[in-house]
A and B are shown apart, each in its own frame.
Chain A
Amino acid sequence: MNVRVSRAKMGWLGLYAATYLTFIYLPVLLLPVFSFNDAIYVAFPIKGFTLKWWEEMVAHEGMLQSLRNSLKVGVAVSIISTVFGVLAAKAFTRYRMPGSRALTGFFSIPLVIPLIILGIALLTVLTTVGVSLSLYTIMLGHVVICVPFAMFIMISRLEGFDQSVEEAAQDLGETPWMTFWRVTFPLALPGIMASMLLTFTISFDEFLLAFFLAGDQLTLPIYIWGQLRFPKKLPSVLALGSAILLATTILVTVAMMFVRRKGD
């Protein structure tokens, strides 16, 4: 009896879960569908298959330039925020420190702060100090929001492992530096990879901070935002969006594999 009840419940919940996933994925899947549609309006019925929107997208110089900018910013942000995150995570997992709860709380603020507030606050300071807006100012904003992600990913990776391995290395005569390179670093590597991939993705897709902190060099999301105003460009924007979705999906899936592989 009991088993049957839970089977039935699982059936309903399973159905619910499937519906929920559809709700999450369906809107996003429309982008690629209409990027191949042979019509300028995004509407049913589907007219026919075409590659011209993709060709138009690839041929656009403004798009390519902003893509290069986004890659530059993303790579720099992923390296910098991961270094910060590794150091902080190491402190939190390795040592008992006074005030660590307050610090973790402070370090989590970028996760919840409305980005528009952070954006205008940074903009105000940078203009007051006289720093001209550029890709570097976008990087600064992105590092701020990426550091907590990097830190929490690294904490979840480092929490698991046995400190005695490090101590053993030191007892066997390794210097602290060599212990780091030969013991700590290899153990932390999957977390580092995951952190770099995910922070890259966040930076690559981030719009609002970049919108406030950009100079004359645009990143890809700002470029897309500009294109949304022109109905004629819409299908090629959909092609671009589909390409971005595909790329980030691959990156994030690989990153998740690294995060979850903890037991080994």
Chain B
Amino acid sequence: MKEQTLHAAEAGSPPGGLREGVRRAFLRHEWLRAYTLVSPTLILLIVAMAAPIGVLVGLSLWTQSGMEFDRTLTLANYETFFGKKIYPLVLWRSIQISALVAFATVLLAYPLAYFIAFHVQRHKMVWLILITLPFWTSYLLRVFAWKLILGYNGVVNSGLTTLGLIEQPLEFILYNVTAVVITLAHAWAAFAILPIYVSLEKIDRSLIDAAHDLGEGPVMTFLRVTLPLSMPGVIAATLLVFIPTVGDYVTPKLVGGTTGIMIGNLIQSAFGRGANWPMGAAIAVISMLMVTLAVCVFLGGVKGLKKLLA
């Protein structure tokens, strides 16, 4: 930094030297060129992501009085949150649902990623496209498809009735937590498969051969070589599914009913009909903190497990 200013000052002495100085500084310092290139993205994400979240934290310290905000700083919204049973209950349930979804998604995705990485010799690309394709298509429509499947007069019920297997439509399959979990696990599948696939694909095959040569059976080779080496992918997959699903709004709204409500629905209603923005902001801030805490606990647990096994 110092060197660069000196340099600019030095170049600044001949006439028209400022431009020249900047040019020389650019040529001389790689990081200056690099930071110039990332600066649009950096500024965008600071202005349109980091700062707004900061403002949200600020808003959560205000209160709503009628149509206006009361701008005195207070923790009243946080007291309301922990004072009313409904908020902590729904947040806790959202975290449980998302954890369950992340666990199920990763567990189901692992064998598939393993299959593509180790057993598909040709047309790997076709498999990868097939897996990722649904992820890019409309989230809303994928969730909605499940409503059609699980609904009272939906595909499952009408199909089973037509086949004569049931007399009355099954009511327990829609508008509850199970429906939310199934739908989310389906909607986020690609997010779990890809990171696991990438980490499996990176594994040096000679390590696996070595384990075989040293007399390890296939199961032990998997447990002691393949699985530990693919853990970064498993961890990434878990987080990539867990974090965004906690705040999901569409799935619980469409298939969750009253028992499947999640924290996103409460946030939305505070910003929508409920019209208590500061309260909504407080719910959002607490949710973010709890999700961060959950992630730390998870990462800590993984680390502890690693030490235990090592």
Q: Which residues of B contact A221 (CB under 8 A)?
A: 138, 140
Q: Which residues of A contact B140 (CB under 8 A)?
A: 205, 207, 221, 224-225
Q: Could you say which interface size class chain B belongs to?
A: 35 or more
Cβ-defined contact, B189 with A144, below 8 A: no
**A-B pairs with lowest CB-CB distance, top 5:** A114-B247, A121-B52, A43-B158, A91-B37, A95-B34
Asked whether any CB of chain A lies closer than 8 Å to the CB of B115, the reply is: yes
Cβ-defined contact, A124 with B55, below 8 A: yes
Asked whether any CB of chain B lies closer than 8 Å to the CB of A123, the reply is: yes
Q: Which residues of A contact B162 (CB under 8 A)?
A: 44-45
Cβ-defined contact, A122 with B133, below 8 A: no
Binds B, one of A8-16, A55-63, A71-79, A159-167: A8-16
| Residue of chain B at shortest CB distance from A45 | B162
Q: Could you say which interface size class chain A belongs to?
A: 35 or more
Asked whether any CB of chain B lies closer than 8 Å to the CB of A214, the reply is: no
| Residue of chain B at shortest CB distance from A16 | B111
State how many angstroms separate the Cβ of A54 from the closest Cβ of chain B: 16
Q: List the interface of chain A (C-beta within 8 A of B).
A: 5, 9-10, 13-14, 16-17, 20-21, 23-25, 27-28, 30-31, 34, 41-45, 83-85, 87-88, 90-92, 94-98, 100, 103, 106-107, 109-118, 120-125, 128, 140-141, 143-144, 147, 151, 198, 201-202, 205-208, 212, 221, 224-225, 228, 241, 244-245, 248-249, 252-253, 256, 260
| Residue of chain A at shortest CB distance from B36 | A91
Cβ-defined contact, A43 with B240, below 8 A: no
Cβ-defined contact, B45 with A31, below 8 A: no
Asked whether any CB of chain A lies closer than 8 Å to the CB of B268, the reply is: yes
Cβ-defined contact, A202 with B145, below 8 A: no
Q: Which residues of B contact A244 (CB under 8 A)?
A: 137-138, 141
Cβ-defined contact, A241 with B141, below 8 A: yes
Q: List the interface of chain B (C-beta within 8 A of A).
A: 30-31, 33-38, 40-42, 44-45, 48-49, 51-53, 55-56, 59, 108, 111-112, 114-116, 119, 125, 128-134, 136-142, 144-146, 148-149, 151, 153-155, 157-159, 161-162, 186, 189, 218, 239-240, 243-244, 246-250, 254, 264, 267-268, 271, 277, 280-281, 284, 287-288, 291
18 extra interchain contacts, Cβ-Cβ under 8 A, other than A20-B108, A27-B186, A44-B161?
A17-B115, A27-B149, A30-B149, A84-B41, A87-B41, A91-B34, A95-B30, A97-B34, A98-B31, A107-B41, A116-B247, A121-B49, A121-B55, A124-B59, A125-B51, A143-B44, A244-B137, A256-B132
State how many angstroms separate the Cβ of A87 from the closest Cβ of chain B: 5
Cβ-defined contact, A23 with B56, below 8 A: no
Cβ-defined contact, A43 with B153, below 8 A: yes
State how many angstroms separate the Cβ of A42 from the closest Cβ of chain B: 5
Q: Which residues of A contact B36 (CB under 8 A)?
A: 91
Cβ-defined contact, B41 with A88, below 8 A: yes
Cβ-defined contact, A10 with B42, below 8 A: no
Cβ-defined contact, B55 with A44, below 8 A: no
From B45, B112, B128, B281, contact of A17 by CB (8 A): B112
Q: Provide the main secondary structure of the chain A interface.
A: helix
Cβ-defined contact, B136 with A202, below 8 A: yes
| Residue of chain A at shortest CB distance from B56 | A121
Cβ-defined contact, B40 with A84, below 8 A: yes
Q: Which residues of A contact B248 (CB under 8 A)?
A: 114, 116
Cβ-defined contact, A13 with B31, below 8 A: no
From B38, B134, B189, contact of A103 by CB (8 A): B38
Cβ-defined contact, A110 with B186, below 8 A: no
Cα distance, A124 to B48, chains bound together (Å): 11
Q: Which residues of A contact B51 (CB under 8 A)?
A: 125
State how many angstroms separate the Cβ of B98 from the closest Cβ of chain A: 10
Cβ-defined contact, B240 with A24, below 8 A: no
Cβ-defined contact, B141 with A28, below 8 A: yes
Cβ-defined contact, B139 with A205, below 8 A: yes
